[in-house]
Chains A and B, each alone.
Chain A
Amino acid sequence: MSESRQITVSKTGVSKLAILALAIVFAAGLFVVGFDQGHVFSLVYGEQAYTDLYIHELTHDMRHAAGFPCH
């Protein structure tokens, strides 16, 4: 193994792809629980989702409990 490669491995030991994948999980999950106001469901059900706010209701209590702004 070349020296530069060893340094790369010893620095992080993980691939950039793995970090990218986890970053996407982070952003998506945080949005759904912390900030979504019906956007996710609107992709499937259209405008109706904004009135029903299913995900908002399901994540509602955690949103308050975890300190995210709500009502």
Chain B
Amino acid sequence: MKTFHFITIVLISGAFAGLIHGTVNFAIVEPYLDQAIGIENQNLFESGEEEDSPQFWVEYEGYRVWQKSGQILAGVILGTSVGALFGIVFALSRNSLPGSNDVKRALILAGIMWLTLYLIPFLKYPANPPTVGDAETVVLRAALYISFITISGIGAIMFYKLSRKFKNRKKLVSIIGYGIFISAVFFVMPENPDEITAPMNLVNEFRFMSVLGVSSFWISVGIILGFFWNRFESNKDTMQYS
């Protein structure tokens, strides 16, 4: 495949999957964000930091509309970004991924990356709606989250490399190895320091919707990039590679 085609299909599939992610979030996550921000507003009124006045609500509506419309745009930006990483890893690992065509191979890789870079880190540091996070701890929480994702990703690569030294069923050893490794990291890493004061069912429903949204991204990016890859990778190239 030509470099130009490669970069183009990677960016387009990421952007498109991000558009789907943003749209899904807009439909299913926004109602929970509104609820959480509603609680936050009540707290501001009760503490006297803000006044429950028409002026407050005009300003509030102004920036909430801005924030909501951003959901889709931010979906495209984040999708293009994570899609770029997905494209790199797919290009480097494609020949060792199982699957009879590129859509299946890309979906398998998307599943692995969803699990190691998203779901496992999420179980340790789950998404939270507004009002839960303390502004004072945001840098610490960002550092913890990014570290856990990085450790999980590097761990997955290391155990993948190890698996290449084994044959057939012994490859299972490296999957178990990764499981033990990431469980240890899971228990060693410090907890999110913030205390949750928002209603727990709101937080849990928000988290569930958030997982659905992110999962819609990984499924989409796998299918779209796999589809484009099948189209742009000519038969001649495939023969040459095999």
Contact = CB atoms under 8 A, between A and B. Distances in A.
A18 interface: yes
A47 interface: no
Contacts of A64: 29, 33, 127-130, 210
B210 A62 contact: no
Contacts of B7: 18, 21-22
Contacts of B77: 29, 32-33, 59
Given A33-B81, A64-B127, A65-B127, A15 B3 contact: yes
Contacts of B213: 65-66
A11 to B, nearest CB: 7
Nearest to B138: A69
A45 interface: no
A25 B25 contact: no
A17 to B, nearest CB: 7
Interface in B116-144: 118, 121-122, 125-131, 133-135, 138, 141-142
A14 B90 CA distance: 11
Given A18-B7, A69-B141, A34 B25 contact: no
B202 interface: no
B85 interface: yes
B22 A71 contact: no
A11 B125 CA distance: 36
B222 interface: no
A24 to B, nearest CB: 8
Query: SS class of chain A's interface: helix, strand, loop or mixed?
Result: helix
A6, A34, A67 — which one has the most chain B CB atoms within 10 A of its CB? A67
Given A9-B240, A14-B91, A29 B6 contact: no
Contact of A29 (B3, B78, B145): B78
Contacts of B70: 57-62
B126 A67 contact: yes
A58 B139 CA distance: 19
A12 interface: yes
A35 interface: yes
B71, B94, B95, B118 — which one has the most chain A CB atoms within 10 A of its CB? B71
A37 B69 CA distance: 19
A58 B133 CA distance: 18
Interface string A31-51: 011110100000000000000
Interface of B: 1, 3, 6-7, 10-11, 21-22, 25, 29-30, 33, 63, 66-71, 73-75, 77-78, 80-82, 84-85, 87-88, 91-92, 94-95, 118, 121-122, 125-131, 133-135, 138, 141-142, 145-146, 209-210, 213-214, 237, 240-241
9 contacts: A9-B241, A13-B94, A18-B91, A22-B11, A57-B66, A58-B66, A59-B77, A64-B127, A66-B214
